[in-house]
Amino acid sequence: MTRIAIGSDHAGFELKSHLIDVLTGEGHDVVDLGTDSTASVDYPAFCAAVGRSVRDGETELGIVLGGSGQGEQLAANKVRGVRAALCNDLYTARMARAHNDANVLSMGARVVGVGLAEEILATFLGTEFEGGRHQRRVDQITALEDEF
């Protein structure tokens, strides 16, 4: 199965805990990078830790969760090599993997219910990168990081 890093802020904590149970139940190896409660915290450090874990090859994929998922996606994407995608529906989850080779999934716990979050996660994990013309575009995105 897959080794997956997961992190959240306080708003995403309960969904994170649920998804860890789902993932481990399916045989995935999950690395929980925090937070560990619903006490208010700032999300950037947790999301960056997930991104670094993926970048450094410690995990294959990452998941970041917050209230909307927006800030979490932004923070994870600041880590070179991360392609975090905000996916609050099945179509974006499929396209993020198939066309963009996304390696971090971001979701909003205040946007999606538990059942939909499980479906989004399953779609993200079950979709392979198509390569081809999409590889050229991913390479162009990667080249943007090299400008700085």
Gap between the Cα atoms of 136 and 140, Å rounded:
6
In this structure, what DSSP letter does residue 48 have? H
* Catalytic site positions: 99
* CA dihedral for 72, 78, 84, 89, sign (positive or negative): positive
Give the CA-trace dihedral at 127, 108, 24, 126, to 10 degrees: -10
Gap between the Cα atoms of 140 and 68, Å rounded:
28
Model confidence over 14-30: pLDDT tens digits? Answer: 999 999 999 999 999 99
Domain that holds residue 27: 3-146
pLDDT at position 147: 87
Gap between the Cα atoms of 57 and 5, Å rounded:
11
* pTM of the model as a whole: 0.98
Average pLDDT over residues 73-81: 98
Model confidence over 87-139: pLDDT tens digits? Answer: 999 999 999 999 999 999 999 999 999 999 999 999 999 999 999 999 999 99
Contact assessment for residue 137 and residue 96, using Cβ atoms and an 8 Å cutoff: no
The count of domains in the chain is 1
pLDDT at position 123: 98
Contact assessment for residue 84 and residue 106, using Cβ atoms and an 8 Å cutoff: yes
Gap between the Cα atoms of 35 and 145, Å rounded:
28
Gap between the Cα atoms of 89 and 51, Å rounded:
22
pLDDT at position 64: 99
Contact assessment for residue 76 and residue 62, using Cβ atoms and an 8 Å cutoff: yes
- CATH label of the domain that carries residue 19: 3.40.1400.10
